[in-house]
Amino acid sequence: MLRSCTAGLRSIWALRGRREGAPRLSMDLQPARRLFSTEKVIHKDWALPNPSWSKDLKLLFDQFMKKCEDGSWERLPSYKRRSTQESEDFKTYFLDPKLVEEERLSQAQLFTRGFEDGLGFEYVIFKNNDEKRTVCLFQGGPYLQGVPGLLHGGAMATMIDIALGSCTGGAVMTANLNINFKRPVPLCSVVVINSQLDKLEGRKLFLSCNVRSVDEKTLYSEATGLFIKLDPEKSST
């Protein structure tokens, strides 16, 4: 497993920088072109295959894309940054302007999308709206190591949080996350996170998920989460 991971790393480094394109632009470019390139990076959809994806991940991706054809499933796009409108909406709930400098905020990005291709979180989420459930395909790269050769539990927790959150829609916050780690996840392997909305009670959304190997034989983790719809009348900070 580690050998294939090293081989993967070599090709990852060879490809390094190609995905975003923009950072490789030389500094003598006109400001307008730089701005255009930056915009392209911000609006790039990261939930699409790239050369670091393993055969398993690509195969599962293709299977779910087929399921999307009749409209029962949809692939959720994933961006590094929220749109200006979304950010403004969220600010009304909890962002005290005194807490984060505007300049810092302009640099903010979703941390799961902050790694080079294949080194961190590679994932895509498919949603079935009628059944109120999602399937997240996740390949955790070598920079997410905890115990040597294994995925860090915090990285798994992050993906579980995102997978459960993707079942909710709208402005919510995680209030409680409860995870049972049953088997360690090999680094660079692909896991499937099946999440569902179990119960909606006022502003409270109760969700659960399991994390399995691609062949479904290994149950890596089980988790439950409580998400709370934000109340526009209340500030959370």
Ligand X SMILES: CCCCCCCCCCCCCCCCCC(=O)SCCNC(=O)CCNC(=O)[C@H](O)C(C)(C)COP(=O)(O)OP(=O)(O)OC[C@H]1O[C@@H](n2cnc3c(N)ncnc32)[C@H](O)[C@@H]1OP(=O)(O)O
Question: Which residue is catalytic, options 28, 161, 198, 231?
Answer: 161
CB of 223 closer than 8 Å to CB of 180: yes
Q: Does 131 bind ligand X (CB under 6 A)?
A: no
Min dist CB 86 to ligand X, Å, is: 5
212 is annotated as contributing to ligand binding: no
Annotated active-site residue 161? The verdict is yes
CB of 226 closer than 8 Å to CB of 206: yes
Residues 89 and 84: their CA atoms lie apart, in Å, by 9
Of 53 and 123, which CB lies nearer to ligand X in the complex structure? 123
Residues 128 and 74: their CA atoms lie apart, in Å, by 7
Q: Does 165 bind ligand X (CB under 6 A)?
A: yes
Which residue is nearest to ligand X, using beta carbons?
A: 165
Span 61-120, contacts to ligand X by CB under 6 A: 76, 86, 89-90
203 is annotated as contributing to ligand binding: yes
Q: Does 197 bind ligand X (CB under 6 A)?
A: no
Q: Does 225 bind ligand X (CB under 6 A)?
A: no
Q: Is 171 left (phi over 0), alpha (psi -120 to 50) or beta?
A: beta
Site string for ligand X, 24-63 (x = CB under 6 A): ----------------------------------------
Strand order in the sheet with 121-128: 74-76, 121-128, 133-140, 190-201, 204-213, 219-229, 172-181
Query: Interior CA angle at 78 toward 30 and 186, to 5°?
Result: 115
Sign of the torsion angle spanned by Cα atoms 36, 20, 123, 100: negative
From candidates 54, 139, 166, 195, binder to ligand X by CB under 6 A: 166
φ, ψ for residue 147, nearest 5 deg: -65, 140
Q: Does 233 bind ligand X (CB under 6 A)?
A: no
From candidates 71, 97, 148, 202, binder to ligand X by CB under 6 A: 202
Binding site for ligand X (CB under 6 A): 76, 86, 89-90, 161-162, 165-166, 169, 171, 173-176, 202-204, 226, 228, 230-231, 234, 236
